[in-house]
Amino acid sequence: MQTPLLPLKQLRRYNRTVSVGGMVTRLANLNNANRNNLRANNRSRPMRVCD
């Protein structure tokens, strides 16, 4: 799995940015899902504020 196009330093930097970007988007997706779940819970049970 060696690519002779990129030097090792650039390849390592590229891998790091891709993995960090993937983690950030995953965290954003989790936050959006949690917010949507809380909104749905508040709509179904309006008396209960904190879940």
Question: How sure is the predictor about 49, in pLDDT bands with cuts at 50, 70 and 90?
Answer: low
pLDDT tens for 15-39 read 777 777 787 888 888 888 888 887 7
What pLDDT sits at residue 18? Answer: 73
Residue 51 CB partners (closer than 8 Å, separation 6+): 38, 41
Q: What percent of the chain has pLDDT over 70?
A: 71
User: Which sequence spans correspond to the domains of the chain?
Assistant: 10-43
Chain mean pLDDT for the chain: 73
Q: What percent of the chain has pLDDT over 90?
A: 0
Phi, psi angle pair for 6, to nearest 5°: -105, 140
Which SS3 state, helix, strand or coil, does residue 6 take? coil
The burial of 42, by beta-carbon neighbours within 10 Å (0-12 exposed, 13-18 middle, 19 or more buried), is given as middle
Query: What's at 45, amino acid-wise?
Result: R
Residue found by looking up tokens 């060696």 in the block: 2
Q: Tokens representing 51?
A: 């879940």
